[in-house]
Amino acid sequence: MRVSEVSARAHRLPLHRAWDGGVDRNDLVVVRVRTDTGLVGTGFAWTPLIGARAVEALVNDDCPAVLVGREAHPARWEELCWHLREAGTSGLTLMAVAGVDIALWDLVARLAGVSLVDLVGRRRDEVRAYGSGVNLDYPLADLLEQVRGWVAAGHRAVKIKVGSADVGRDVERVAAVREVLGPDRLLMVDANQRWDVPAAARALSALEPFDPHFVEEPLVAGDLAAHARLRERTGVPFAVGENLRTVEEFERAVELGVCDVAQPNVVRVGGVTPFLRIAESMARRGVPVAPHLLPELSGQLALCLPRVAMVEDVDRASFAALGALARPSGVEFDGGWVRADTGLGHGLVFSDTLAPVVSASR
C-alpha cells in the first residue's frame, strides 16, 4: 500500500464562547493521505487563531515529495521531519507532520481492520475525565454555573483558570469553586504561563488551603529553570507539557523535578508516533500523562497509555461540539469517564461543509 496523494485544507471552527483573551475560534487543518489501493487515511492539525494556512501549505507543498510512492506507514515520521527541517524543527513543522502522522496511523488501522485503540494496544476500557474551561474572563456566577454543570455530568475533577492581576480575585474564585465541589472532588488550576516566580509563589501560597491537585503552567513554559526555582517555594504539584514539543524536553522537565503530570498535545508534539514515545518515557519515570485538549483523539490514546492520569473534557470545544464531524466518532464522555468504540481507524470523519480559513486581507 503506497501513498498516491497527500492533501490538506484549513477550516475555521467558531467557538460557542470566546476563550480568555478574545480567542473566538479554533482552526482545523484536515489532512488526507490517499493510497494506490484506494484506501484513504484522515489526519488533522489544530490551532487556536494562528498558523492554519501555513500548516496547510507545508502539507500540500512540501510533504508529497517524501511520501508519494512510498509505503504508507507511520515509520515515515523521522524522514518527514528531516525533509521539513529547513522550515524548523518545532512549531508549525511539527503540526504539519502531526496531520500526516495521524492520517498514516488511521490508514494502517483501517488496513488491519481494527480501531486505532486496538492497533496501538488497548490497556483499559475507560479513563477518568475532568471538566475543563478557559474561563478566567468569566464572571464568578458564570464560572460557578459551568462548574455545577460538570458536577451534574458526573465529573469528579475540574480545572479552572487562574492568573488574575489581583490574586485576591483568584482566591475568591477558587474558594467558591471548592465550595461547589466539596472536599472529595479534585480541583486543578491553570495559570497559562501568566506568573513570574515571585507572583506564582505568592499565589500558590494563597491557594494551597483549597487543596489544588496541581497547578498547570505557572510560568513561561520553556523556562524550566524558573520552574525549578518555584518548586523550592511550593508543595503544589506541577502539570506541564502543552507547550513542550520533544521527548527530550519532557525528560528534562522530569529531571528538574518540575513535571508531576505530563500534558503532551498530540498535534503540537508531531502526531501519534512521538506522543506514544513521550508517554512511554514518562511511564519509565513514574509520571502520569494527562493529554492536552483534542478529546476525541486524546481519549482514544489515553486508553492505551502505560501510566495515565485523566483526559481533558474541555467545555463545548470538542470537534463534535464545534460541529466539525460528519457523524459521531465513537468516543464518548459520560459520567466523568471516557470510552471509545470507533470502528475502523480513529473514527473521526470531518464534515465536508466546514468553512475555510481565508486570508485576513480578504
Q: Quote the crossing angle between the two packed helices 272-284 and 295-302, to the nearest 10°.
A: 50
Instruction: Provide the CA 202 distance to its chain's centre, in angstroms.
Output: 29
For residue 253, how many other CB atoms are within 10 A of its CB? Answer: 24
Phi, psi (5° rounding) for residue 300? -65, -45
The candidate with the shortest Cα–Cα distance to 238, out of 217, 264, 224, 209, is 217
**How far apart are alpha carbons 214 and 211 in whole angstroms?**
9
Catalytic residue among 11, 227, 292, 346: 292
161 an active-site residue? yes
In angstroms, rounded to a whole number, what is the distance separating the alpha carbons of residues 163 and 356?
34
Please count the residues of the chain.
Answer: 362
CA 287 to chain centre: 17
What's the CA gap between 326 and 290, in Å, rounded? 27
Instruction: Establish whether 16 is a catalytic residue.
Output: no
Continuous segment of H or E residues that includes residue 205: helix 197-207
Q: State the catalytic residue, choosing from 161, 213, 227, 346.
A: 161
Are 357 and 176 in contact by the 8 Å Cβ rule? The answer is no
Q: What is the dihedral of CA 89, 91, 93, 98, to 10 degrees?
A: 110
CB of 302 within 8 A of CB of 106? Answer: no
Give the number of other Cβ atoms within 10 Å of residue 149's Cβ: 14
Catalytic residue ranges? 161, 292
